[in-house]
Structure 1
């Protein structure tokens, strides 16, 4: 009988799903990826997808990894799942989706929700957070569905995150990981469980407790692969399904960080900086620290919502030559942009970019827009591209400083994962902007590796998370900051970048008042 020594991770992203097989040393043994259209839009700003698209991609990826790669199924010890965050699925009593999933990218709003009354209402007014609460209510997908599709909501047996839906398809049970609970749900982020009955969150959403799945801590068994799922996916029936966490949380431990002094940057569609903390720390008041992939821990995070999506924006709007070259060479257009900017000096000759292409809740405010200042006749599209990378690094450095102030723990080193981490130029630029050593993990698939770490601990292949992270992760390329370049960036950051939003904010408000974009939330 073959030894059960391999770990299957399923990583469901925004544009693809990957099936990944690791060994207990963190080595990637096999990988299969299934691409799909990220979403469709019935109306401007909407982002929806048929939930069965995700399940079919999971089935196809798993069948391919066993059949095409020749992996012995009997060697798989367990499976875990990590997914994009904040995507929600309504299912009926038979587990069938009642409507398309609403993705995290969706921008619809549900304005006009009644403000909280009673003591909670007084509390939010007194603390100056009533506007933030109104924003949260308007962003809550369940509110929009209940108001605009009441028949769908009346038939909703369970209201699940994408992770909960796929775990249901795998096990036949309505179960999910504590580590995956990132969304507008009545979840107590501090205590890492569903909120208590008196909590204000239950009054902001129409969800009942029995519409939510049972939660299990990361590293614990959620259930086992059902007969039906085994038939559809090729995963052995009865294989334990281990609770992992959302993609960003898995990236943190997959990058090798369990210490709050190590900042983990994710250069993905949403760019983030995260640290792991035992303490619950809100980096922005009322915006929570999310669950970690390690039980009992939190991942303290600051986001730049559009992040490295801006690279794709640049490609579509200004990158036609690279797109043409990519078609001829078979190299991704994004990989050619490093050559485009190799001769652009640090600081982009004074071109400064504020990467608020999509407004935030409190940081920046909902009126925020992107801005580029400092243009001269010397500037080209190459300078614009470098200023995008620099602007994202400035914004994440600002997030780092916010986390340090709130946690009172200095961040002394960086790990970088996500698609943008494959650019040497982007990582050297990051080291120079932050003035910190910056490390690319040994493996690109940090989210899937983090899920595999959860599986390894849950199955006893490693005794604890510290041992597992040490055994399964290791540093790859290291980028040291150049002192003179850091001095340049430091001056631009403090004397220009950090002043831009405050100076431009009144103009952003005027633009919104005149044009109506972005839409102003209720007061």
Structure 2
């Protein structure tokens, strides 16, 4: 039987990745294009410059296609996954009327305001890219959470006119919705020329990026949590119900139709903070790492493992590098410096802060759900580091698994495509065939005991003592 291949698109916050898989989930070729720095023209406005979402996809796709060793005619479909909570305003011809609004843009947390007569359509990043790829006014229902007039029980636009008035988007300005695993359209001749993908290739709906990542990580059990290490870090558990008005988690669409994903509170600019620290160290870090034939990440991981104990000798990092809208005074903090501390301690402390924060957030979620975990899966670029994996195992006190495909959103998109095109009859069978576990980290009991006590008695209490002074400082430095 001849081999068949699937393209998985993962449009993230920092880069666009295009990965070509075989039907068993093995990576055959890939391309990555970093996104440009965000436009920040004034407070509260965070935009993707120019036509960066589309142009980065075109470049990443060309890279993947150029290194693809198979026959183009053996590629059977493409799954489209893009970053969630992005708002795109389009002209009648489907081109951008203004730069795409990032999920960090304050406007996406408010109802749409019709301020530009050029705007004919209001859609998501996946809707915009779908139109560029296929020419269709279609989008995945699974990428609509937030300020949209959608009925989360039916996965379709609300039938209540009052809801449309609340969000201020008339139905005629919205795309038609498709469930994950359905065909959105086919690659047009123009899109084929710009991306290198085969013309007429079916484009398959997935969902929002976190849900597709959970699918690609193989998370179907309600006793398994996914820790997604991205620019935004989140903890997730799959479920069958659509609970509303919850306290410690919110309900998101899953990448499987009519299933849901329960998502804990997260860390804004989570892995971004790790990148920020590496950039602060500059050329010195890069040169030292290169002299040992290591990446900067590998160098820092090795240094931290060799020199830093659990608890980073008292150095603690609070990861509020991007404050929430309702608590604008919040700031990132590092507390507890003394003469012992080195760059390795700072790096180790940042990773510990991520693990400790997510432990608290996930604990709050599972307690409200009245369930228990027996393992966690860690995905994203941060899962490549053994130190990060061991910290999560130690902090959670549970086995921490990572898969061979660490950036699982592209694989999740391929799984949606494989089921849509009937390569596999169900999502369970597709996951069984396409998701491979790489390794599992077991917790060290003594470290878990230390982190549990430290988290409850010290780390979780920091904000109770610092919020007051940060509120006062906010009035000095922000008017």
TM-score past 0.5 threshold: yes
Q: SS at the partner of 1:377?
A: coil
Name the structure 2 match of 1:123.
none
Which consecutive residues of structure 1, in runs of 5 or more, have no partner in the other structure? 111-135, 518-523
Q: How much does 1:4 deviate?
A: 6.7
Deviations along 1:252-273, one digit per CA (max 9) or x if unpaired, are 1111111121110111111111
Task: Say if 2:56 is the partner of 1:57.
Answer: yes
Q: Which moved more, 1:321-330 or 1:448-457?
A: 321-330
Q: SS at the partner of 1:244?
A: strand
Task: Say if 2:242 is the partner of 1:280.
Answer: yes
Q: SS at the partner of 2:458?
A: helix
**Would the aligned equivalents of 2:18 and 2:30 in 1 still touch at CA under 8 Å?**
yes
Question: How far apart, in 2, do the equivalents of 1:11 and 1:331 lie?
Answer: 27
Question: How far apart, in 2, do the equivalents of 1:328 and 1:93 lie?
Answer: 54
Q: SS at the partner of 2:218?
A: coil
Which consecutive residues of structure 2, in runs of 5 or more, have no partner in the other structure? none
**Would the aligned equivalents of 2:11 and 2:83 in 1 still touch at CA under 8 Å?**
yes
Name the structure 1 match of 2:323.
359
Q: Which moved more, 1:48-57 or 1:401-410?
A: 48-57
Question: How far apart, in 1, do the equivalents of 2:212 and 2:384 lie?
Answer: 18
Q: SS at the partner of 1:317?
A: helix
Name the structure 2 match of 1:160.
123
Question: How far apart, in 2, do the equivalents of 1:339 and 1:490 lie?
Answer: 25
Task: Map 1:249-398 onto structure 2 (within 5 A).
Answer: 249-281=211-243, 285=247, 288-302=250-264, 303-318=266-281, 321-326=284-289, 331-342=294-305, 343-360=307-324, 365-398=327-360
Task: Map 1:360-509 onto structure 2 (within 5 A).
Answer: 360=324, 365-509=327-471
Name the structure 2 match of 1:186.
149
Q: How much does 1:368 deviate?
A: 2.6
Name the structure 1 match of 2:70.
71
Q: How much does 1:326 deviate?
A: 4.7
Name the structure 1 match of 2:112.
142
**Would the aligned equivalents of 1:14 and 1:38 in 2 still touch at CA under 8 Å?**
no
Question: How far apart, in 1, do the equivalents of 2:249 and 2:159 lie?
Answer: 18
**Would the aligned equivalents of 1:17 and 1:61 in 2 still touch at CA under 8 Å?**
yes
Question: How far apart, in 2, do the equivalents of 1:281 and 1:471 lie?
Answer: 31
Q: How much does 1:453 deviate?
A: 0.5
Question: How far apart, in 2, do the equivalents of 1:471 and 1:450 lie?
Answer: 12
Q: How much does 1:331 deviate?
A: 4.5
Question: How far apart, in 1, do the equivalents of 2:274 and 2:329 lie?
Answer: 23
Q: How much does 1:35 deviate?
A: 3.0
Q: Which moved more, 1:83-92 or 1:38-47?
A: 38-47
CA 1:68/1:320 → structure 2, altered by over 3 Å: closer, same or farther? closer
Task: Map 1:25-36 onto structure 2 (within 5 A).
Answer: 25-36=24-35
Question: How far apart, in 2, do the equivalents of 1:417 and 1:21 lie?
Answer: 19
Task: Say if 2:132 is the partner of 1:175.
Answer: no
Question: How far apart, in 1, do the equivalents of 2:151 and 2:424 lie?
Answer: 29
Deviations along 1:436-455, one digit per CA (max 9) or x if unpaired, are 10001121231100000000
Q: How much does 1:167 deviate?
A: 0.4
**4+ aligned runs moved over 6 Å, structure 1:** none
**Would the aligned equivalents of 2:86 and 2:100 in 1 still touch at CA under 8 Å?**
yes
In the alignment, which of 200, 214, 218 is matched to residue 176 of structure 2? 214
CA 1:141/1:326 → structure 2, altered by over 3 Å: closer, same or farther? farther
**Would the aligned equivalents of 1:50 and 1:99 in 2 still touch at CA under 8 Å?**
no
**Would the aligned equivalents of 1:420 and 1:426 in 2 still touch at CA under 8 Å?**
yes
Task: Say if 2:61 is the partner of 1:97.
Answer: no
CA 1:399/1:208 → structure 2, altered by over 3 Å: closer, same or farther? same
Question: How far apart, in 2, do the equivalents of 1:38 and 1:411 lie?
Answer: 38
CA 1:30/1:320 → structure 2, altered by over 3 Å: closer, same or farther? closer
CA 1:51/1:408 → structure 2, altered by over 3 Å: closer, same or farther? farther
**Would the aligned equivalents of 2:399 and 2:441 in 1 still touch at CA under 8 Å?**
yes
Question: How far apart, in 2, do the equivalents of 1:81 and 1:253 lie?
Answer: 13
Name the structure 1 match of 2:9.
10
Question: How far apart, in 2, do the equivalents of 1:63 and 1:473 lie?
Answer: 25
Name the structure 2 match of 1:39.
38
**Would the aligned equivalents of 1:261 and 1:410 in 2 still touch at CA under 8 Å?**
yes
Q: How much does 1:346 deviate?
A: 0.4
**Would the aligned equivalents of 1:351 and 1:384 in 2 still touch at CA under 8 Å?**
yes
TM-score, normalised relative to structure 2: 0.92
Q: How much does 1:319 deviate?
A: 5.4
